[in-house]
A and B are shown apart, each in its own frame.
Chain A
Amino acid sequence: MSACPTTLPTSRPTEACPAADCADVNASCRLPVLTLFAGAAFWLVVGAGFALIASIKFHAPGFLADFAPLTYGRVHPAHLNALAYGFAVQAGLGVTLWILAQTSKARLALPGGVFIGALLWNLGVLVGVGSVLGGGSTGFEFLEFSQAGSVSLFFAYLLLALSGVLTFANRTVPSACVSQWYLLAALFWFPWIYTTATALIGCVPVRGVTLAVIAWWFANNFLFVWLGLIGLGTIFFLVPKFAGRSLHSRQLALLTFAILLGFGAWAGIPASAPVPAWLPALSAMGAFLSLVVVIAVAFNLKQTVGKYLCTRSEPSPKFIGASVWFLMLFTLGNATTACAAVAATTGFTWLTPALTQLGLCGFFATAMFGAVYYIAPQLTAAEGCCARPAKIHFWLNLPGVLFLVGPLAVGGIKQGLALSHTATPFADVTKATLPFLRASTMGDLFLLLGALLFSVNLGRLICGCIKKCCGAAGCCRTKSEVAS
């Protein structure tokens, strides 16, 4: 077996590859990847802002109620979509392209295409979020964007993914690393599920509940499988770097990969859905088998890290560690609530959005923060410069997720129990749930502050880089670039 970056015994976390290659690779990634990160940071703030507005409405239903675009039923989906498409996909693709270039030891292919793709993607998100706020939502969760927005997203994605695939094809090291499986599969996965869902919902006249099944299928394939692939691909790349040794077991990572794709892709149909019973049953089986992911990932990372990770105080490993915990809770929660017996109580309660947020803001966003704080300083030649503010971000993000997900989950369970106790009038069910919703506003507030800090940190890195560009003759160079 030939050299694979994840199996190289690197001890310094910032050294992704030997100096000479690194210079070129980072230079080719700088503009496109930073553009994706900047777009992601923008939508993160927008999404977190919308979340806070939506949350405040549970303190005072009249808050901003007379302005139609900010009514709860529009601002809430706008928040989720801004986070999912604006932040998550964009940050995920930025990280993916960089890791693929690094592990392939090849320059990023089509950097111009990525830049245009990033602009087109942001345009698509803008049009989509605008359509939701303007009342043009399709009414399907995570597919609310209008067709104009979706089409723009689709073509933007093709440009971005093409660059990733070509970069991999140009690899100068012959073998693929574990994280490359995950990231490449993810690059392919999204257009398949996205075209299937948007085409069947938007163009081909499919009727009634089948539409809902397709939307559930998509939402799960996006939230669990796609985010899972990107997140785990990132984690499996970074953790060995932090620990300074190779990933414990490629076989376990392969098993995780197979289960996530093979069975994770079955989950997502709610147990109570008004469809033939075999559908939710098959889906529950998929969710249940996905528990293997939890065990395999936990064991693999534990064996890789040994006692190393805990002794590190850099921000990136902290984020990644938290992210792994959130992934485990998320998968566990999904499997539990897929059980028909549990879903009878928890279905239609706040536990469902709590789990969505655990996956999106907990697992995925946290992993992306870790990755961006690792990658962006390398791209801007400012290694180690934002460690302190990044650490503050960590301490805003962690309580943010906990204060958001915790109250929603507990409130959801209480709500479910109260709803099944039919002697409790509905007004009392609401009364029992509201305090939890109000407590979760705290989480939204922390997450918004975290998002702002993240943007400031990223903005400072980018500004520093631009300043250096204008000051020195060449553009900002990493230490290794200068050395070469």
Chain B
Amino acid sequence: MLRRGGLLPHQIGGGVMNRGPVIFFSAFLAFAISFFAFVLLPQTQIGRQPLATVDGVANAYPAARPGEAHQGAEIYRANGCVTCHSQQIRQTGNVFDVVLTDAGTNLTAVLTAMNNHLNPAVEFALTDVTNALPKTILKAVPTKAAAEALSKKFTEAGAKTDLRVMPVGPDIARGWGLRRSVAADYLYDTPPLLGSQRVGPDLANVGMRLPDANWHLVHLYQPRAVVKDSAMPPYRYLFTTRKIGATPSADALVFPAGFGPEAGYEVIPTDAARALVAYLQSLRVDASLFEAPMTAPAK
């Protein structure tokens, strides 16, 4: 037995920790706090989130994925596409475009406003006021207040303007999405395949970007047939290759010149491959939400 007197004070600290129950309860307290903050609160805040209201229509967003796309999500999960692809757009902020939609009746007042408040290097003419409406008169105003102040000058002159909310950030500049992803976008996704890696491009909006089913099928069968030096693994096991029968199958993949199976053979997607592509085509985040506003580009 060591005598207490033989030890320095810092060597006998934490004496109360020498009992099992104390260790148990201090660990449990830490666990409970962490559980409360990171499991319970998010569940009450976003777990019960209703579907969003879009354009005045309640419960409009997100739309449930149609059956085949839903099965495709399972193929996506089973094959671990999520290890290389994220489905989540980030955004650094918003900029605002001011759009002149209607010049009103007092054209000269609008022209004066244009010359006073727009690019001072340009001398606007009356035709600039009336031609090609609606037109963006100011691009990428960094704050909403500044954009509103400017559009006020025009409304005072009797014109009508629109304020467009344009999300910005590297992901958006790459064309991967229109706005940042928010919790509401994943309400139908179990599991939500957010991913943590971008070995390949983000796929949150791949359905919007690449709508062609044949492109996807060929890409899955042989990525390098459509993307030079692609680092994506091929998924030939989702396809069957067979000898062309009396009539070639309508489902057979159409390859670019120089790729595809040897002559006399055709590549047919399995149901899994078709479902996977239906899922990819269903990936689109294009609704403006209260927490992530944006103005969709004119169709």
Contact = CB atoms under 8 A, between A and B. Distances in A.
A430 B80 contact: no
Contacts of A252: 10
A138 interface: yes
A147 B17 CA distance: 36
Contact of A419 (B7, B26, B170, B231): B170
Given A221-B34, A262-B30, A272-B88, A348 B196 contact: yes
B11 A7 contact: yes
Interface residues of A, number: 99
Given A250-B12, A274-B182, A419 B31 contact: no
B236 A352 contact: no
A192 B35 CA distance: 10
B2 A2 contact: yes
Nearest to B9: A251
A211 to B, nearest CB: 6
B46 A188 contact: no
Nearest to A62: B234
Contacts of B37: 266, 282
A208 B174 contact: no
Given A3-B1, A72-B84, A137-B78, A427 B186 contact: no
Nearest to B232: A61
A309 to B, nearest CB: 19
B231 A181 contact: no
Interface string A156-192: 0000000001001100001110101100110011001
Interface stretch (A20-28, A73-81, A288-296, A384-392): A73-81
Nearest to B42: A213
* Residue among A214, A250, A283, A353 with the highest chain B CB neighbour number at 10 A: A250
Interface stretch (A63-71, A455-463, A466-474): A63-71
A482 B174 CA distance: 72
Nearest to A210: B47
* Residue among A180, A200, A261 with the highest chain B CB neighbour number at 10 A: A261
A266 B24 CA distance: 19
A11 interface: no
Contact of A214 (B23, B39, B81, B181): B39
A262 B33 contact: yes
A1 B196 contact: no
Interface stretch (B156-164, B221-229, B255-263): B221-229
B38 A279 contact: yes
A3 B201 contact: no
Contacts of A344: 90, 92
A40 to B, nearest CB: 24
Contacts of B42: 209-210, 213-214, 275-276, 279
Contacts of A270: 196
Nearest to A209: B183
B236 to A, nearest CB: 5
Interface in B1-18: 1-2, 4, 7, 10-15, 17-18
A427 B229 contact: yes
Contacts of B124: none
Contacts of B170: 419-422
A196 interface: yes
Q: Is the interface of A mostly helix, strand, loop or mixed?
A: helix
Given A77-B80, A139-B82, A344-B90, A61 B233 contact: yes
B284 interface: no
B12 A61 contact: no
Contact of A212 (B28, B49, B192): B192
B14 A261 contact: no
Contacts of A254: 13-14, 17
* Residue among A71, A347, A427 with the highest chain B CB neighbour number at 10 A: A71
B295 interface: no
B190 interface: yes
Contact of B198 (A76, A174, A348): A348
A122 interface: no
Interface in A281-314: 282-283
A217 B192 contact: no
Contacts of B2: 1-4, 7-8
A8 B2 CA distance: 8
Contact of B46 (A62, A192, A208): A208
Nearest to A303: B10
A274 B194 contact: yes
Given A1-B12, A217-B34, A275-B46, A175 B18 contact: yes
B82 A73 contact: yes
Nearest to A64: B233
Nearest to A9: B2
Contact of B24 (A7, A73, A184): A184
B38 A217 contact: yes
A419 B12 CA distance: 52
Please give me the 5 A-B residue pairs with the lowest Cβ-Cβ distance, nearest first.
Answer: A73-B80, A251-B13, A135-B78, A265-B34, A261-B30
5 contacts: A71-B237, A188-B31, A265-B31, A269-B38, A279-B38
Interface of A: 1-4, 7-8, 57-58, 61-62, 65-68, 71-74, 76-77, 135-141, 165, 168-169, 174-176, 178, 180-181, 184-185, 188-189, 192-193, 196, 200-201, 205-214, 217, 221, 246-254, 257-258, 261-262, 265-266, 269-270, 272-276, 279, 282-283, 344, 347-350, 352-353, 415, 419-422, 426-427, 430-431, 434
